[in-house]
Structure 1
């Protein structure tokens, strides 16, 4: 059974959801097949994509004017795309009341996107520059979250860094909250601020985009700290709540404190507890 009647075209909302990857697998397959064979929907797809990409260039407008401004902007972008592809007949339908109402609903969706961008400013504004001393999670976005768990449960298994996989939906939510697009997110992994082996929860408040290799304070360094804290907690040298607090507050400072080093030490030395050589 198809998801829409033959002869119909994709709605603007459907195209936006397809572009954002928010459709089910069945819907995405059905819509993609239609898009492949329909020039009208191809033109709409290109126009909406251009409007979406242009959002980053828009200035924030007053709330009472946002919808009108976005609707006017979208109509302009749709007209440009239609003219390039010679879709004059489709452009003509923009003047029809039903299409204008549909555009208004799309403008409302785009207004929500602008509001999201206002609430969560770009990553560089919230986190500061990516220097050797950073980056660290934005505390307002990632304060850390823990689950009720017994110490005996945590210490019954070794800390092997096999964290549960974060669902794709949560990963996208974290990257959006930090103002990161797909290209910027490639060098990062969505990681647990307080790792599960120390009682960390999978709530978005405990998830953040952690760099793989772009700084010295990266995923490798944090993994070494987590292993050390797990060993100390299970060895009775450190209270569990204290370890959780150290990770949630400033994991870089915690690393320097427990490794007695200003920079990350080698992975082997950190794991084996060998003396740290001065650099």
Structure 2
């Protein structure tokens, strides 16, 4: 099982109403198997890989002081798997709460997912480097597309 930050030691930030992880607790981590030289054989082909336990999710939620139902959050990879994020490194995982104003118990509407998908598409088309996409998502996923001239 992966190490997790201490309970209550991580703090959400919000920008334009969207949740951002604590960069001290969730700085992001990339998979060493994914490089700029091999996106066609790794992230740009179908398939997936991840195995995170329920206990790890609960410990990470405690790190962020998240006490709501896990159905009101997504256990998210800061650098998504489709951008070569490490699937199991705790530095790349965080409990992303639903947007403020989200109706409790109605699942998660995640505005970050379409950003990840667009970045993935541009990397696979060779329009943006893998490193630039990873840096943009880590810096601030809410501005990642505009930062790269994509939004």
Sort the TM-score into its range (normalised by shorter chain): 0.7 to 0.9
Is 1:127–1:137's contact at 8 Å kept on the other side of the alignment? yes
Q: CA RMSD in A?
A: 2.7
CA distance in structure 1 between the partners assigned to 2:12 and 2:89 by the alignment: 20
| TM superposition shift of 1:223 | 1.0
CA deviation map 1:229-272 (0-9, x unaligned): 11100101000011111111110111444553xxxxxxxxxxxx
* Deviation for aligned residue 1:187: 1.3
Distance in 1 between the 2:110 and 2:49 partners?
14
| Residue 112 of structure 2 corresponds to residue 222 of structure 1 | yes
Count of matched residue positions in the alignment of Structure 1 and Structure 2: 134
Alignment of 1:1-279 (within 5 A): 116-117=6-7, 120=9, 126-128=11-13, 132-148=16-32, 149=34, 150-152=38-40, 153-157=42-46, 164=50, 166-181=52-67, 183=68, 185-201=70-86, 202-214=88-100, 220-257=110-147, 258=149, 260=151
Report the structure number with the largest CA radius of gyration: 1
Shift of 1:185: 4.3
**Contact kept in structure 2, 1:134 and 1:215, CA below 8 Å:** no
* 8 Å Cα contact 1:211-1:219 kept in structure 2: no
Q: Is the 8 A contact 2:17 2:100 kept in 1?
A: no
Higher strand share: 2
Structure 1 alignment gaps of length 5 or more = 1-115, 261-279
Q: Distance in 1 between matches of 2:9 and 2:130?
A: 32
C-alpha distance 133-259 of structure 1, shift in aligned 2 (>3 A): farther
CA deviation map 1:22-57 (0-9, x unaligned):
xxxxxxxxxxxxxxxxxxxxxxxxxxxxxxxxxxxx
Structure-1 separation of matches of 2:140 and 2:101: 16
Check 1:194–1:157 CA distance in 2 against 1; reply closer, same or farther (3 A cut).
Answer: same
Structure richer in helix, relative to its length: 1
Describe the shift of the 1:227–1:137 C-alpha distance in structure 2 as closer, same or farther (beyond 3 A): same
Runs of at least 5 residues in structure 2 that lack an aligned partner in the other structure: 1-5, 103-107
Q: Distance in 1 between matches of 2:133 and 2:61?
A: 26
Q: Is the 8 A contact 2:115 2:145 kept in 1?
A: yes
Preserved contact between residue 190 and residue 210 of structure 1 (Cα < 8 Å): yes
Q: Is the 8 A contact 1:141 1:205 kept in 2?
A: yes
> Contact 2:12–2:21 (CA<8 Å) still a contact in 1?
yes
